[in-house]
Amino acid sequence: MMKIGKHTLGEWVAATRPWSFPASMMPVAVTLAYLFWAGYEVNWVYGVWALLNIVVFHAAGNTWSDYFDYKHKVDAVDTFGAKALTGGLFLPAEFFRFALGLLCVALAGGLVLTCLTGWELLLIGAGGAVCTLLYPLLKYRSWGDVVILCSYALLPMLGTTFVASGILDVGLLWMSLPYGLITVSILHANNMRDVLTDRRAGINTLAMRVGVNTSVGIYLAEVLLPYLMLVVFAAIGWLPWAVLLVFLSLPMALKNCRLALSVPKEGTEVIAGLDQFSAQLQLFFSLLFIVSLVCSSLFF
């Protein structure tokens, strides 16, 4: 395999945690599908550009977060998750430069897109950049869940709507909440699992602050409320009834919920893979959401 510096291309890619990219891709894709269904004139080139750019932002955020987690001893040899630094594959200095390089590429792509669309995108992009840079600091103080909701739901919805249709409409933010909550559940599952090692590192996530039982309740709400929301949105005419196709993902959601419910009795070891299971749910839920909107536009 091609080598870039001291590492193979595959090692660099793996360091970005690509399994998590649907968390950023799906909000953009769902938004484009919604605009298509709602009858907006969609600029698909700019829409795809926005999708690719947010993936680079996501990769920058993952590596940036991993660097600071390692630096502040949140991640150690015995913790779950990424091992690029804790396993000794990368040196901290080169990993920091990698994260910074990815962020520069994402910012450059966003600036060019801003020049092609409008200055309003600069404000949205700046919000995303701030979320990326401050995420480690805010996560250590229980605000990580809020940052993820902004970064991978609210801001992508606004940004994609603007670049693809030329309209900046905060009234559409409601549409980002169903997939946004499931996206937040990925982080929350991670934080529930890592309570002991996070406490050792001296940080304070939301899962630590509220305790085990409340933390499990929050996870259940994040995973199950989106289904209820879509029923309500369809009932009041904000979305087509076809969106109930997402209920095909409900068995996966219930399986994740059963895992979370087992934590008080069996400990956090039982949810070692719950963050990845939650990411798989977010992907399946969002794909069904997209299919329902596209099919409603084409056939109904």
Flag whether pLDDT at 90 surpasses 80: yes
Mean pLDDT in residue range 178-194: 93
Joined together, the tokens standing for residue 103 give 């962020």
Flag whether pLDDT at 143 surpasses 80: yes
Residue 300 placed within a domain: no
Q: How far is Cα 279 from Cα 99, in angstroms, rounded to an integer?
A: 22
Output the average pLDDT for the chain. 90
State how far the alpha carbon of 247 is from the alpha carbons of 69, 242, 277, 285, 300, in Å: 36, 10, 17, 8, 20
Expressed as residue numbers, the domain containing 113 is 9-294
Q: Note the pTM of the prediction, 2 decimals.
A: 0.90
Q: How far is Cα 34 from Cα 163, in angstroms, rounded to an integer?
A: 14
Q: Concatenated DSSP letters for 51-105?
A: HHHHHHHHHHHHHHHHHHHHHTTSS-TTSSS--TTTTSSS-HHHHHHHHHHHHHH
pLDDT given for residue 148 in this prediction: 92
Q: Which residue has the higher pLDDT, 41 or 197?
A: 41
Q: By three-state DSSP, how is residue 16 classified?
A: coil
pLDDT given for residue 54 in this prediction: 93
pLDDT given for residue 228 in this prediction: 97
Mean pLDDT in residue range 222-249: 96
Q: Please count the structural domains in the chain.
A: 1
Scanning the structure block, which residue is given the tokens 């993936």? 55
Residue 239 placed within a domain: yes
Q: How far is Cα 176 from Cα 147, in angstroms, rounded to an integer?
A: 14
Residue 3 placed within a domain: no
Residue 219 placed within a domain: yes
Select from 15, 31, 30 the least CA-distant residue to 284.
30
Q: What is the pLDDT of residues 157-166, one digit of tens each?
A: 999 999 999 9
Residue 124 placed within a domain: yes
Q: Which residue has the higher pLDDT, 28 or 86?
A: 28
How many C-beta atoms surround the C-beta of residue 2 within 10 A? Answer: 7
Whole-number percent of the chain with pLDDT over 90:
59
Residue 81 — very low, low, confident or very high, per pLDDT cuts 50/70/90? low
Q: How far is Cα 260 from Cα 10, in angstroms, rounded to an integer?
A: 33
Residue 2 placed within a domain: no
